[in-house]
A and B are shown apart, each in its own frame.
Chain A
Amino acid sequence: MKSPLSFIKGRDTDGVMGTFRPQLTSLIDVMTILLVFLIKSFSVEGNLITPSPDLELPISTSEKPPKPMCSLIITKSSVLSEEDKIAEIDQFKDNDSLLIPLLYDWMTIQKAKCVDKERAKEVLIQSDRDVEFNVIKRVMFTCSKAGFSDFSVLVLEEE
């Protein structure tokens, strides 16, 4: 069998320059496997929501795709909107009241901005998997006080 590196032998016995002929079979094999994998991962829709890099989302068997709606991010240290920090968890997690005033103000503004009345009740919570339920509970309570009643949580689909 011809060696894959045969082209570097240079001149053959007749003194004629050898042909540059690299063996591409294995490269094509790799490319084909890669192509099949990438076609399998291909998504026409893409991700409508990009989770924050600070988050480790919980894993779930749910298959329902996300849809655009008012979104809240709960990291291990704070509650954020898509752009700004709203409240630090340490500031409210031990309070007697479940209401988070800063979050309530922000959610009220968001609800007023929403034109679609059905969508105005929906809120998507993007929470880190290691956040305690105490924090989630307070965020949900505040959202419900601001008029949001339909909750969704963002999760990673289990493979």
Chain B
Amino acid sequence: MNLAFSKRNSAPSEVASDTIDIDVTPVMNMFIILIPFLVSVAVFTHLTIIEFSLPPNVGMGLDTSEGKPKLKMTVVVTSDYLAITHGDAMLDSIPIVNGEYDYTLLFKKLSIHRKESDIKNEVIVAVRDAIRFKHVVKVMDRCRGAGFEKVGLSSAPEETESL
């Protein structure tokens, strides 16, 4: 069988372009069928979930399973700063920079404090009333990223501001 493009060896490119005649109709037909089908089943936004529990199940602050209470790390989200606390002790405070929370710094601090904590897989996120939900989700993300598998969501009382 002689291939049509075998002529190309001796012909200049301009001439060869005239002689090569690939029939693209089947390819176009395939595209015309395949593309509408793929458009119909394409998922452009991927939905996921974040699981969390209320303090009675996770992050009550006390763990009496071994007979003595153990404090759990808490991330307090306020409109002015993020705070990492352990019981009454404030471990770190991350102020807002240019109106934005510094999530990168929060992640670093959480990773450091997690190594020192007795309970390494649970954290409580305590949030003030006026905080928008998107910030809560971001903080929960950073907690999970730092290695805390269980995240408890709680309300932070206004008096916590005195910390």
Contact = CB atoms under 8 A, between A and B. Distances in A.
Given A66-B47, A157-B47, A58 B133 contact: yes
Interface stretch (A45-53, A80-88, A103-111, A112-120): A45-53
A136 B133 contact: yes
B43 A46 contact: yes
Interface stretch (B2-10, B66-74, B83-91, B124-132): B124-132
Interface string B127-163: 1111111101110110011000000010100000000
Interface string A32-56: 0011001101110011010100000
B41 A43 contact: yes
A46 B140 CA distance: 26
B108 to A, nearest CB: 16
Interface of A is mostly: mixed
Contacts of B44: 41
B142 to A, nearest CB: 9
B38 interface: yes
B28 interface: yes
B56 A153 contact: no
Nearest to A2: B17
Contact of B141 (A60, A128, A134): A60
Interface string B1-44: 00000000000001001100000100110010011001101111
